[in-house]
Amino acid sequence: MKILVLGGNGFIGSHLVDKLLLKGHSVRVFDKNDEHYRKRLNGVEYHVGEFGNRGVLSDALNGIDVVVHLICTTLPKTSNDDPVFDMQSNVIETLFLLEQCRANNIKKIIFASSGGTIYGIPQVLPVQEDDQTNPICSYGIGKLTIEKYLYLFKKLHGLDFVIIRPSNPFGPRQNPLGIQGVIPVFLGKILRNEPIQIWGTGDIVRDYIYIDDLVDAFYHVVVTKTMSTIYNIGSGNGHSLNDLLSIMKKVTKSDFSITYTTARSYDVPEIYLDINRASKELNWEPQITLEQGIQSTWDFIKSLSVQKE
């Protein structure tokens, strides 16, 4: 199968590309950047361009069977700063992509939505796919809008799609100096002997999923015909920031310092996903415990500092 991964040089994309290559698929990547932590891979065809560059994108779609759409130009935290940019660069450009998928007879598109933002503040936990969606950030509104257009394109033009709503993925190749992903960011601070700052009391609960488990779910929906079109992909369990910190103390064997400051108004206090649909229909279960995942992320972050020396 010939698969195009949009955003294939990012955190999730690079792991998915590895899995697709391992399974013998023909892989093309469309991205504006090269991978941050590795050189270009043998066997991957790279198309470099901005998502908004419609000519390059159209070329990249030529001869492709399945598209995995992992490009996102904003983050939940920053998306509210410029919602116009968010809609233009994500929603409008994705609409162009869908038109091009239709023109190129693409068989299926897989879209990375967001289990952490699309539901807003949950009424009931764990959150199921059919629960209310009331995002409280522009990023989540954009993801939901794209989901609705996927339905429309299926209805109007028969373009097949699957939506993955990941919770909070983490693991190697997630940037410890970035502003997303508390696990690598905290571990990076621990390695640099910097204090960890927590907004609020550390009781905020999230659902952390190790990257290999998330990628297994993506792989499954790429290669099989699914019963449903939307899947929550998470661990199915909630962990507070304080839980994470105590596991990090154990894994890193470090007695790092923590400062607690005022809580941020836009943080959803508690969310974790119901993963029963994926577990039944995809025959998928997360395999890696939070502690195992933190250990391998820690190993990766330590290896980066060794490379620099």
Ligand X SMILES: NC(=O)c1ccc[n+]([C@@H]2O[C@H](COP(=O)([O-])OP(=O)(O)OC[C@H]3O[C@@H](n4cnc5c(N)ncnc54)[C@H](O)[C@@H]3O)[C@@H](O)[C@H]2O)c1
Query: Based on CB atoms, which residue is closest to ligand X, 32 or 77?
Result: 32
Q: Which residues bind ligand X (CB under 6 A)?
A: 7, 9-13, 31-33, 50-51, 70-73, 112, 114, 116, 166, 168-169, 180-181
* DSSP-derived pairing of the beta strands 168-170 and 208-210: parallel
In angstroms, the first-to-last Cα distance of the chain is 42
Between 13 and 188, CB nearer to ligand X:
13
> How many Å apart are CA 17 and CA 30, to the nearest integer?
12
Least gap, CB of 255 to ligand X (angstroms):
28
**Which of 119, 139, 208, 231 is labelled catalytic?**
139
Q: Closer CB to ligand X, residue 80 or residue 180? A: 180
**Cα dihedral sign, 187-231-48-54:** negative
Asked about 139 being catalytic, the answer comes back as: yes
Phi, psi of 243 (to 5 degrees): -60, -45
- Check residue 205 and report its DSSP letter: E
Q: How far is the CB of 163 from ligand X (least distance, A)?
A: 11
Q: Please tell me the distance from the alpha carbon of residue 194 to that of residue 97, in angstroms, as a whole number.
A: 43
Q: In one letter, which amino acid is 130?
A: D
Measured from the CB atom, the residue of 168 and 237 that comes closer to ligand X is: 168
Give catalytic residues, as residue numbers: 139
